[in-house]
Amino acid sequence: MKRVFLIVLDSVGIGEMPDAAAYGDAGANTLKAAASSPYFHIPNLERLGIFHLDGIGWHDKTGPFTGRIARMREASCGKDTVIGHWEIAGVYSDRPLPTYPNGFPEDVISRFCELTGHSVLCNRPYSGTDVIRDFGEEQVRTGALIVYTSADSVFQIAAHEDVVSREELYRCCEIARRLLVGEHGVGRVIARPFCGEKGAYVRTAGRHDYALQPPAPTMLDQLKEAGKDVIAVGKIKDIFAGRGITQHEAAAGNEAGMDRTFACLKQEFEGLCFVNLVDFDMLYGHRRDVDGYARALTAFDEQLPKMLSLLGREDILMITADHGCDPSYQLTTDHTREYTPFLMTGPCVESANLGTRDTFADIAATVLDYFGIVPAFAGHSML
């Protein structure tokens, strides 16, 4: 049976794209920033060829590499998780999803309050950890929902679990998702429950994302329609609003995500195992933690030999990213507009450097090509 394991290292960009300045990201380079840390050590990714990718002139290219590699250019407009994953799966976005640097319009908030029965606090761009620090006490006292956004296309709702149950928070998010369509169709509505005492509030593992439906068929849809398995690990199910998925494996962070991936490697199926490892972005990129980012990359690299040993003779492993989030970038704490890596290996894969590709959608075309399926979108196989 043929299996493809596609792992998205969430936000591991490899250098600014030509239009990065238009997004406020001139000079961003997530991988280079992580490499500046003494905790950065990725010999297995190096053997696959990560430092042989186009544009990485800041690191020695010593010895041969074993992977089939490429630098990926994002053809879509944006630098969001949803847009990045959609393009990886074959869907282009010709305009950025809406963002709200001044908070959401009053008519949107009023309608949200009317439909949920809750009042709202904050309603402006905020760091997720700072917002519960600054508004958490008032939220606990009043029961109002903390609504905030970021530079991404998100409508985030935070509440203390002892005040607003997860079930109620999720209900409010579902209402927001139905409300936020058309002109205000944000990429994701995100539940952000927290717990703890005043001065020590922390976010819990109850995060849940409610994404827009992809506007066109994806490789997931095509694989499922062809009778193949599509296993979603981590937040992949949320990103694609559950569409095109036959099995979901919940995973709240990198460690859990890798545990579920190893379980899938030992599972018999034919099709795609699509994995998102979120900690690079959520815990280290946005928080501008260079050493933490480097440690996370090192930890992933240390697990690569075990992963490769579990590949069957017709299995393929693909490693990529959806955007950047340079942990050393000080102008913002947002995602950064960067090229991403593509590393492919497996017993049936020949090594080659395929240069710079025009779109992330070449990844989806490659997956479908391996299963003999003609893509319903523009993209070129890298097999």
pLDDT at 152 over 90: no
Clarify whether residues 160 and 195 are in a common domain.
yes
Closest CA to 327 of 288, 356, 292: 288
**pLDDT per residue over 306-360, tens digit each?**
999 999 999 999 999 999 999 999 998 889 999 999 999 999 999 999 999 999 9
Mean pLDDT to the nearest integer, 253-281: 97
Owning domain of residue 146 = 106-211
Are residues 261 and 314 both part of a single domain? yes
Q: Is 378 a domain residue?
A: no
What's the rounded Cα separation, in Å, for the pair 164 and 169?
6
Q: With 90 as the cut, is the pLDDT of residue 95 above it? A: no
Domain stop point among 157, 184, 211:
211
User: Which alpha helices (DSSP H) does the chain contain, by range?
Assistant: 30-35, 43-48, 81-88, 106-116, 128-142, 166-179, 219-225, 236-239, 254-265, 279, 290-309, 361-370
pTM for the model: 0.89
Q: Same structural domain for residues 245 and 331?
A: yes
Are 362 and 242 in the same domain?
yes
- Please check the confidence at residue 62 and state whether its pLDDT lies above 80: no
CATH code for position 112: 3.30.70.1250
What pLDDT does residue 146 have? 98
- Domain count within the chain: 2
206 in the same domain as 233: no
- Residues 78, 145, single domain; the answer is no
Q: Which of 195, 211, 227 is the last residue of a domain?
A: 211
Does residue 367 surpass a pLDDT of 80?
yes
* pLDDT for residue 267: 96
- Given 164, 192, 211, the domain boundary residue is 211
pLDDT at 41: 98
- The verdict on 224 and 353 lying in the same domain is yes
- The CATH number of the domain holding residue 19 is 3.40.720.10
Return mean pLDDT, the chain. Answer: 96
Q: Is the pLDDT of residue 57 over 80?
A: yes
381, part of any domain: no
3-state secondary structure of 135: helix
- Given this model, what pLDDT does residue 96 score? 84
Same domain, 201 and 219: no
Residue 377 lies in a domain: no
Do 89 and 119 have their domain in common? no
pLDDT tens string 5-43 = 999 999 999 999 999 999 999 999 999 999 999 999 999
User: In this structure, is residue 31 part of a structural domain?
Assistant: yes
Digit-coded pLDDT (tens) for 238-250? 999 999 999 999 9
Q: Is residue 45, in this structure, part of any structural domain at all?
A: yes
- Is residue 205 very low, low, confident or very high in pLDDT (cuts 50, 70, 90)? confident
% of the chain beyond a pLDDT of 90:
92
Do 339 and 283 reside in the same domain of the chain? yes
What is the band of 94 on the pLDDT scale with cuts at 50, 70, 90?
confident
